[in-house]
Structure formats: structure tokens, C-alpha cells
Structure 1
Amino acid sequence: MSTDDDEDRGYPTPRKNHQLKGHDAAEQVIVDAWNSKRMHHAWLLCGPRGVGKATLAYRMARFALSHGGENAGGGLFGDVPTSLYVSPDDPVFRRIAGGGHGDLKVIERLYDEKKKRLQGEIVVENVRAVGNFMSKTSAEGGWRVVIVDAADELNRNAANAILKVLEEPPANAMMILIAHQPGKLLPTIRSRCRRLNLGTLDDETVGSLLAQYCPDMETADIHALTGLADGSIGRALQLHDVGGLELYTELVNLIATLPDTDVAAQHKFAERFSPADRDEAFVTVTALLNWWLARMIRFAATGTAPREVVSGELPAMQRMAAAQPLDQWLEVWEKITDLMSATRGLHLDRKQALLNAFFMLEATIRG
């Protein structure tokens, strides 16, 4: 949910999203800080991908920029805000949605035109202007806000540039850092931020959002995608866009036949990811394979059966868990994860990588 194209698919980007579901407690912490005049100069929003961190960040920015710099602790007319909601009809909302508010700066990975994909990290050239931006007087007499999406994608030099700003925070300026993996951040950055942890969404919330954003989706598919989502509406929508449910169903069906190998079906499946323009689909299918194996291993370790997303996967997990000890499955999982990572990083043969993964699973089951 990070590109403007998402709007055409029926759901808004975080910049344009007026609703936030499942994180009332986190929002209340921010509202209370505002009303008590203890609005921290830096916030660190942590949690899994796709649960609403960026949506909350823009919600915070709209709220601060629409209330003015001297009004922390009350509304424009002395009222006490009870939420961060700003109407989509508000001029501040519309200007932020259009990327045209002079007091908001967003730092994120840039698109590499040569490689036709986002850069792998946020580099220092992207953040050099942050210090100057934050120290200037607000163009509209209120707050200056910077959103870093995501802070764990900053390289070392970029992180140090952000740290310098955090060490000398100017008045009426706020930095909102989004982090999927906060452990990757410099400890000195974490220590200078007020941290809010956003957890995964419950199935009811994910399902209701899927029904809202994808009104033509069948109820059974909503239920299945909710299971695949793992509490992340962003993951659910991304899977929907790339046909992730169909990929997962095919993948599980192939695994369920093991150790009997349908060579032709495996080759036909793996061949689909060979073309150069199938990078996103390859990333999706390898992530789904990794997720399925992780659930199988957790089942083997705990004996607690996971929810079946598609029919037939639980018997396959039971058969595999019984075939070999847990440590062998952990080793296979690590080998497959490393193989898929190397395949992407070194531009290896994707088809062969998937076929090798199926072979490793088959060989392990057979012992």
C-alpha cells in the first residue's frame, strides 16, 4: 500500500487513508500526549509490515499540521481532541494527500529508473535536507513534520544524519520514524524516540477491510486471504494484487503430493517465475513457501495444528512433521531460505531454485 497505483486498485495509500482500524490504544497514547502538552519530538512506530504504521504516521502529521504549533493541549477553539481524525474534506488533508504541504517532508526509498525497482536502502543524499527543513520556521506558523518510511531501511550514513537531527530537536518539529525491524536501528536513535508498538490485526478487522477494499471478492477467498495475511492488511492486499492465493493453493497442492513427485507439474509451476518481469511473483511465492514451512515446523515443535488456509495442507504438515526430527526440518528450512535469497541477490535461475527446493523437501521426507 505504498504506491499511488494502489488508489486505482480500490484502496487508498497511507497518505490518502482517512481511517485507522485496530490501533485505538496507540492512537490514544498520542492524543493524551498532545492534550497533556507532552508531545514528543520523535516517535518510533514499530510493528510488522502492513498493519497500519504508515497510516498512523500520516494521521499524526495531518493532526499536528491542522492544529497549529501553539495549540498542543487543546483544539483550535479550546476543545480537547479525542482522536487524531482529520476529515478528508479538510484542506490540510487534501494537500497532504496530493503531496503539496510545505510543512511535511517524507523520506523513503527512491525508485531506480535503471533497475526499474525501488532502491535497496535510503541513502544519505535523501536525508541531508532534513536538518535544514526541521530548523526552519513553519511556513504556516505551526509544526514541521518529517516521516521516515522506513527507518530500518536507512544506510549507516543516512541513519547518522537522522541521529544528528534527533540530538538537537527544534521547537514545534516532529519526526515520525516507521520501523518494521526496530532492532536494525542505531540504539542511539531508538533511545531518542518515544516508541509505540503496533501489533497484528485480528482476523475480523482484516476480513472487514478486505471486504471494503475488494467488494467483488468471494467470501471464501476473503476467509482464505485473511488466513494468509497473518494479521497484516497490507500483506493481504499485496497477495490479492499478485494472485497470491492462487499461487499458495498451487504450492500446497504440489507439496501435498510429496514424496510422490509430479515432475511435469513442478516444472510447469516453476517455469512461470523464469521471465525477468516475474520478480515480484517470485518474491511472493518464495515468501509463501517460507511461511508454509515455518508453520509446519512450529506445528512439529508444539503439536498445535495451525489454521488451514487451503484444504489439504494440514495432512501434508502432519506427514512431513512425522517423517523426520525437528532439527532436520529446521536445517532444510534454512537451506531453502538461503537458496531463495541467493537466487534473487545473484540473479540465479529461478526455476531451478524452486525445483531444488521441491527436491530437498522430497529427499527429506524419504529420509
Structure 2
Amino acid sequence: MSDEQEQAWPAPRENPELVGHDEAEALLAGAVASGRLAHGWLITGPRGIGKATLAFRFARYLLAGGAADAQAPGLFGAAEPAASGLRLDPGHPVFRRVASGGHADLLTIERGWDEKKKKRRSEIVIGDVRDIGQFLHLTPAEGGWRTVVIDCAEDMNRNAANAVLKVLEEPPRRSVLLLVSHAPGRLLPTIRSRCRRLALKPLADAQVRALLARYRPDLDPADQALLIWLAQGSIGRALELAEEDGLELYRELGTQLSRLPDLDVPALHDFADRLARDREGNSFRTAADLLEGWMARLLRTASLGRPDPGIPPEEAQILSRLAGARGLDQWLALWEKVTRLIAGAEQADLDLKQVWIGAMLALAGQGRR
């Protein structure tokens, strides 16, 4: 493959590489080597920085015998993590079986498929997690560990969360639950208290830039720089924005926001129609994510009295102008209203066009003195 050809971004279970989280790898390898491995791990951090990739990387390490190997004495009487961390060669049989979803000692939990709506459900339900207890109580098929990856844990509804909590309260021997979470505050406090927390940090801009050069070498320098700024340390988000026309949506959104408190109603309806036409909902989710990010920057501008350094000048001007139109408490109330509206759009199967128009009308109303 030439340097100019795009490579496909691998799914977490298929990804042999992990960038920027050496300390987390060392901590997990050290926990295994100590012989006191926690049964529950809560892996947290922003979306798209490698949390699920780390979870599957650790699962492969355990399933390939990393835990068993760690019990053998090292040079000074205690096992020492390998220099390669948790990495397993992609040609290893365990790697291939995990990548294909065919390893008997690994169970992956995620939002299930809704046959009626022909799309993934908006939450993890009790039926998705019902088999965890039975799975973990079985004897490991390959004599190692039984491992469960839940991605994303905050998607569990109350019944599903309570079922997982029961397992965490009385974990079977040689079992590990890896809970991946972008928003751990939405989890039951009792689940958080029964897991060891492993918080991952956003990637450095240089790391995101290197990965973009690898997976999207077609981007021109200006677009690459804007993606890096919008992604805020998340290579997953940067690639999603590039894939879902995120830069075009950001620029169109900026045009709409620049007119606040006035609105170009025909342009607003055209934009909302475009979002609603995408039956998969990807365009709406991308635009909503961009809007929520913009509102977070507006709140920060209202709080500090100035925009943060690094914000593009055009956006900084809009933020400065609007931030003084209302008090911080009023902008915060609006942010909560808009984020609730967006969050409920898919859960309640609302009309995405009307949701978007409603959000923009709320912003316009708040922007007037």
C-alpha cells in the first residue's frame, strides 16, 4: 500500500495498535503480574481515544495466557510485564479468534439489534446482559480467564445495570469484566464502587496528526488542522468527522450561528432536511455533536469572559458577541435544554428535522437581549 492510499480504521477488537496509553498498559500488565487482578475494571475517558481498543487488547492478553505466564517468577522472584506491554501479534490464533468474535472465553456486550426498527437499540437492555452470569460461571474453555467487555457501559438501562451489578458483587473465580465508558457519571454509583477505575487521557495533537496522516493522507493541511482542533485529542472523532462530512457541517453550522440571534429560516430548513434525510442518523449525530461542542465553548466563554486561545477567529467572534447577551446561568439552562432535546431525539424516535429546528430556535431566543 502506498503512502497516498487510505487505510481502513480497524474496529477495536481488530486493532493491533494502541497509541498514547503506555501507562495504562503498564498498570494492567502490572496488576496481572501481582497476582491480585481486580475482577471489574472501569475504563473511562473521552470517546474515540482508544478505550475499547485497550479493553480488547487486555482481553487478548489474558486469553493468550498473559495471566498464567505472569505467575511464573521473574529475575527477582516476581513476574515482570513484557516490554511490548499487552500487545499480541495479529497472527496469533487468539488475536484472530477475538477479531472474528469466535473466542469461547470472551463475551462482548453492546446495544442489540431492534428487528422492528431495523437498527441498533438506543440502550443496552436486560436481554443483552442476561447471559453474563452463566457465561462467567462456566469453566474457561481454554483453561485461562473468562472475560466480558461491555461497550459502552453507560448505555445500560436500569435493569441491565442491576444485572451486571449482581455479577460484580459476587464475581466468579478467574473472571474479568471490562466496562468501557465515555460518561461514567451515568453509571450506578454501586457499579463504579465495585470496579477499579482506569482513566485514559486524550491523545496529544501530534499523535492525532500522525494517525490522520496514516489513515487520511488525502486531507489538505488546513482541513487536517481543523479536524485536530475539533477532535480535542480523539482520533476516533477526527476520523468520524472526516468520514461524515463533519468539516462541511461545521462550516455550515458556523454560518447559521453567525447570524444569531437572527435566523436564515429557508437555510435552516434546508439544513434540517439534509440531516433528516440520512436514515442512519449519522449526519444528525455529527451535527448535534458539533453543536454541543460549540455550546460548551460558549459556556466557557461566558464563564471566563473571553474565548479560549486556539479557537478559530470566526467562531471566537460569535462566542464573544453572544456570551454577553445573557448570564452564565441562563446559558447553562439553555445548554441543558438543548442537550436533553438532542439526547431524546433517537430514544423517543423524534422527528430529527423538528429537533434541530427547535434547538436553533431556542438558541436564537436566548441570544436576544
| TM-score, scaled to structure 2 | 0.88
1:81 aligns with 2:79: no
Q: CA deviation at 1:311?
A: 5.2
Q: CA deviation at 1:201?
A: 1.8
CA gap 1:113/1:146 in 2 versus in 1, 3 angstroms: same
Aligned to 1:301: 303
1:29 aligns with 2:27: yes
Amino acid at match of 1:318: S
Q: Does the CA-based 8 Å contact 2:40-2:178 persist in structure 1?
A: yes
Q: Does the CA-based 8 Å contact 2:32-2:67 persist in structure 1?
A: no
Supply the distance in 1 between the matched residues of 2:247 and 2:290 (Cα, whole angstroms): 10
1:151 aligns with 2:153: yes
Q: Does the residue aligned with 1:70 lie in a helix, a strand or coil?
A: helix
* Structure 2: runs of 5+ lacking an equivalent: 1-5
Q: Does the CA-based 8 Å contact 1:108-1:150 persist in structure 2?
A: yes
Amino acid at match of 2:299: I
Q: Does the residue aligned with 1:101 lie in a helix, a strand or coil?
A: coil
| Pairing partner for 1:180 from 179, 182, 185 | 182
Q: Does the CA-based 8 Å contact 1:69-1:141 persist in structure 2?
A: no
Q: Does the CA-based 8 Å contact 1:228-1:309 persist in structure 2?
A: no
* Structure 1: runs of 5+ lacking an equivalent: 1-7
Q: Does the residue aligned with 2:202 lie in a helix, a strand or coil?
A: coil
| Pairing partner for 2:121 from 119, 122, 143 | 119
Q: Does the CA-based 8 Å contact 2:29-2:81 persist in structure 1?
A: no
Q: CA deviation at 1:10?
A: 1.1
Amino acid at match of 1:60: F
Q: CA deviation at 1:262?
A: 3.2
Supply the distance in 2 between the matched residues of 1:357 and 1:281 (Cα, whole angstroms): 16
Aligned to 2:233: 231
Relative to structure 2, which stretch is displaced further, 178-187 or 43-52?
Answer: 178-187
Supply the distance in 1 between the matched residues of 2:214 and 2:74 (Cα, whole angstroms): 33
Q: Does the residue aligned with 1:274 lie in a helix, a strand or coil?
A: helix
CA gap 1:34/1:267 in 2 versus in 1, 3 angstroms: same
| Pairing partner for 1:106 from 94, 108, 113 | 108
Q: CA deviation at 1:36?
A: 2.0
Supply the distance in 2 between the matched residues of 1:300 and 1:135 (Cα, whole angstroms): 53
Q: CA deviation at 1:21?
A: 1.2
Q: Does the CA-based 8 Å contact 1:74-1:81 persist in structure 2?
A: no
Structure 1 residues 144-178: Cα deviation after superposition (integer angstroms, max 9, x where no partner) = 21111122222233223223322333332222121
| TM-score, scaled to structure 1 | 0.88
Supply the distance in 1 between the matched residues of 2:217 and 2:290 (Cα, whole angstroms): 24
Amino acid at match of 1:41: H
CA gap 1:299/1:214 in 2 versus in 1, 3 angstroms: same
Instruction: Give the total of aligned pairs.
Output: 360
Aligned to 2:279: 277
Deviating beyond 4 angstroms after TM superposition, the runs of 4 or more aligned structure 1 residues are: 74-80, 307-311, 341-349
CA gap 1:21/1:345 in 2 versus in 1, 3 angstroms: same
1:220 aligns with 2:241: no
Supply the distance in 1 between the matched residues of 2:72 and 2:52 (Cα, whole angstroms): 25
Q: Over aligned residue pairs, what C-alpha RMSD do you find?
A: 2.6
Q: Does the residue aligned with 1:273 lie in a helix, a strand or coil?
A: helix
Supply the distance in 2 between the matched residues of 1:68 and 1:290 (Cα, whole angstroms): 41
CA gap 1:347/1:149 in 2 versus in 1, 3 angstroms: closer
Structure 1 residues 212-262: Cα deviation after superposition (integer angstroms, max 9, x where no partner) = 222222222121111111222222222222111110111112211334543
Query: % of aligned pairs identical?
Result: 48
Structure 1 residues 163-204: Cα deviation after superposition (integer angstroms, max 9, x where no partner) = 332233333222212122223333332232222111222222
